[in-house]
Amino acid sequence: MTNHFLDIHKTDPQALRQMIDQARTMKTARAGRPKGAPDDEQPLKDRIVALIFEKPSTRTRVSFDVGVRQMGGETLVLSGSEMQLGHGETIADTARVLSRYVDLIMIRTFEEQTLLEMAEYATVPVINGLTNRTHPCQIMADVLTFEEHRGPIAGRKVVWCGDGNNVCASWLHAAGEFGFDLTFTGPPTLDPEDEFVGLARSKGATITIERDPDKAVEGADLVIADTWVSMHDSQSSRERRHNQLRPYQVNEALMAKAKPDALFMHCLPAHRDDEVTSAVMDGPHSVIFDEAENRLHAQKAVLRWCLGV
């Protein structure tokens, strides 16, 4: 069976835990070494990984590229425009062809269906680098980051402030698999999908919708925000979203209502002083740059799990 990594809730909880633990082990092994130096282990030696980007990327592109290289593999970076993915050739045929050339495919795309079709027809593992609905690799890095700083995430209270977007969706998936509770605070027009809320609840997680952000963060172990606007949003859409989301900005006053040792996360890039103030981003609660670094380590573990190495 091919080990695709498509979403948190589609992956066995024991496998998720194995990946988090292996990521921590690999990160520890690199302590004090030059940033670009190869790992002592070379589990991806002679492996080639295709990295497909229909959406622009900084962290996803660099972290996957560097991670593969550190583990002895090589990358083939492709843009959607270069491939005309799903236009000049069907996604199914693209998947079949790429499977003859490479050992693994990571795709960062718009429509979830593109990812699912790629996985259905590929005979090599496929990793979800992001879709409009979910972003599982980010949450693997986030769980790793929380546990580095505060120990097991099971039983903790996580609060999402703002838009119930694709990153929020993967946090809901993770709540069910890692055993923590999640509170969403944001306007009702931007609630997370009912399907994702219901799935987390069916796995035993307590999922709360609380419109008052001050109440939402009471007792929080972790507060998370994400950008309010996408690069593809129109100016009128941006203004409308800002007006809806302004009450949910994460600032020092809001963080003061969480636990004294609460952490703050943001997957970046951030619009400083929109969804979160610079004072919080650069303050004592923030672990955003550890979080960004951990994309590298978490994804290396995901790559190894997919390839069974």
Active site residues: 108, 135, 138, 226, 267, 295
Interaxial angle between packed helices 288-307 and 136-150, expressed in degrees from 0 to 180 and rounded to the nearest 10: 120
Question: What is the rounded CA–CA span in Å between residue 42 and residue 269?
Answer: 31
First to last CA, the chain: 15
Which run of H or of E encompasses 263?
strand 263-266
Phi-psi region of 204 (alpha: psi -120 to 50; beta: other; left: phi over 0): left
Cα distances (Å, whole numbers) of residue 191 to 139, 188, 243, 299: 19, 5, 16, 28
Interaxial angle between packed helices 288-307 and 13-29, expressed in degrees from 0 to 180 and rounded to the nearest 10: 120
Question: What is the rounded CA–CA span in Å between residue 70 and residue 167?
Answer: 27
Cα distances (Å, whole numbers) of residue 149 to 2, 12, 265: 33, 24, 12
